[in-house]
Amino acid sequence: MDIKQTAVAGSLESSDIQLTIAPASQGITIDLESNVEKQFGNQIRKVITKTLENLGIEAAQVTAVDKGALDCTIQARTIAAVHRAAGVEAMNWKEIDAWNV
């Protein structure tokens, strides 16, 4: 799957994360803003990166504004943003259920 356009998923509400994904020429970069970055920043980046890898994304610019989201929320927002950015209308939920993030 390729990122074709900029897309956003999530909100700035408590316990959520807002992810913006944009096209990039190579590699994955993650710009993270979080009040709990010192404690959980590495884990947030890990969940985003692993989800992008599972979706076959090799190049993307990710901006994440975290408001205390759990891993499952981070994964869901990443999936939604990628599908929007790639212009995919239907998700293969069986494939996603098999992931182990």
pLDDT per position as a tens digit, 42-89 = 999 999 999 999 999 999 999 999 999 999 999 999 999 999 999 887
| pTM of full prediction above 0.85 | yes
Walk me through the domains of the chain, giving residue ranges and CATH numbers: 7-89 (3.30.230.10)
Q: How far apart are CA 67 and CA 70, in angstroms?
A: 10
**Sequential DSSP letters for 34-74:** ETTHHHHHHHHHHHHHHHHHHTT--EEEEEEEESS--HHHH
Compute the distance between CA of residue 74 and CA of residue 77 in angstroms, rounded to an integer. Answer: 5
